[in-house]
Amino acid sequence: MARTPKVTTSEMDIDRIIEMAWEDRTPFEAIEIQFGLTQADVIKLMRRELKSGSFKRWRERTHGQRTKHVALRDSDIDRFKCSRQKSIANNKISKR
């Protein structure tokens, strides 16, 4: 049964997905929970939205990274964000 990802047409949603994809501690599963996009969908979005050099750097950075996949993370990591980061509300990161 094929899943249909949530359509994200809002520029704000796309910007937040890109930001979450670049963050080291945010796993792909968190993006899927919040926006309904699988890892493959995020890769397609990043390929479409980023310049080719930026996309290549992002793929090198995230490829095989343990913190980007919940199943590969250490069991003591139970959050998606840095402990020093203030709470995220309405997809906006609060400033310090």
Would you list the domain boundaries of the chain? 11-75
* Alpha helix (H) residue ranges in 23-73: 28-35, 39-49, 52-62
- Report if pTM > 0.75: no
According to the model, what pLDDT value does residue 95 have? 46
Instruction: Indicate if the pLDDT at residue 33 is higher than 50.
Output: yes
Instruction: Indicate if the pLDDT at residue 23 is higher than 80.
Output: yes
How far apart CA 76 and CA 28 sit, in angstroms, is 18
How far apart CA 9 and CA 23 sit, in angstroms, is 21
